[in-house]
């Protein structure tokens, strides 16, 4: 089987990323599959952005949010797309632009790639209740997909798994994104057969982080969070050999508040 490269990136708005040079960066990565989160565009707007860009040759599948300017996930594939599924199977979450699956032909095999964008939440509010309800729905789908040999779930999960995944973990113990009940889902998934490629291939940590606030000096001091993941089922996890965070060299060169995660498979 041929090598495979998957890139996942929260673009923080595809049109903003375009203006900042993000499309050129993604094209230069020479990925077979690109998973995007927070596209924040209609399907027509996404097509307009990609037309004439270095990414225009990719086949595109997109799950926009019903609320304009919010969320949205997409998969750009240089491999033939054989099937597409949007959402985890229940309303109202399926219309929020947070989960899209694509079955892709990779040689004689089929691989399933997911682009996911989890709720950010806010501890002690209705937003956190919605996040936890969505995590429960995702958990059911994760259990279903775990039995398939070649599945890669990519995206902004908005959860830092362990203390090494967040610079200021002590100051965020009671904040959304690092709550015990959120992290417990990651524990269950990793114990249930999913491999966290960013951690397994990226070293013991701390970091490498994938998100830094636009505000303050967090980017320059590497005061970040590792919340962007590539989770692999057992079969394809064995083929993964490199996972790299594409952090910009300087603050001025950032094109999103997230950095892409690049994963290579034999």
Active-site positions read 156
Dihedral (CA of 61, 96, 156, 70) sign: positive
Q: Report the DSSP pairing between strands 151-156 and 109-117.
A: parallel
- Cβ atoms of 252 and 226 within 8 Å: the answer is no
CB 100 within 8 A of CB 120: no
Helices (H) and strands (E) in the chain, counts: 7, 12
d(CA 60, CA 74): 7
Q: How many CB atoms lie within 10 A of CB 245?
A: 18
Counting every residue, how long is the chain? 266
Which DSSP string do the residues of 83-148 spell out, in sequence order?
EEEESSS-TTGGGSS-EEEEEEEETTEEEEEEEEE-----TTSHHHHHHHHHHHHHHHHHHHHTTS
At 185, give phi and psi (nearest 5°).
-65, -45
């Amino acid at each position: 089987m041929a090598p495979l490269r998957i890139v996942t990136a929260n673009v923080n708005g595809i049109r903003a990323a375009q203006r900042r040079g993000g499309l050129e960066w993604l094209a230069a990565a020479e990925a077979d599959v690109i998973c995007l989160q927070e596209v924040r565009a209609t399907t027509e707007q996404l097509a307009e952005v990609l037309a004439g860009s270095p990414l225009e040759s990719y086949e595109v599948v997109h799950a926009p949010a019903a609320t304009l300017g919010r969320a949205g996930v997409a998969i750009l594939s240089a491999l033939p797309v054989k099937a597409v599924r949007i959402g985890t199977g229940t309303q109202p979450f399926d219309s929020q632009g947070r989960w899209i699956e694509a079955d892709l032909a990779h040689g004689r095999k089929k691989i399933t790639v997911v682009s996911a964008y989890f709720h950010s939440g806010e501890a002690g509010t209705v937003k956190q209740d919605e996040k936890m309800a969505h995590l429960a729905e995702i958990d059911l789908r994760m259990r279903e997909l775990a039995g398939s040999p070649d599945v890669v779930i990519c995206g902004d999960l908005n959860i830092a798994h362990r203390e090494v995944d967040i610079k200021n973990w002590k100051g965020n113990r009671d904040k959304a994104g690092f709550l015990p009940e959120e992290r417990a889902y990651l524990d269950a998934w990793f114990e249930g057969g999913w491999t966290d490629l960013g951690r397994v291939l990226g070293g013991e940590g701390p970091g490498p982080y994938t998100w830094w606030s636009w505000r303050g000096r967090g980017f320059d001091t590497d005061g970040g969070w590792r919340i962007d993941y590539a989770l692999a089922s057992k079969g394809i996890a064995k083929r993964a050999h490199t996972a790299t965070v594409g952090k910009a060299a300087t603050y001025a060169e950032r094109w999103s508040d997230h950095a892409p995660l690049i994963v290579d498979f034999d």
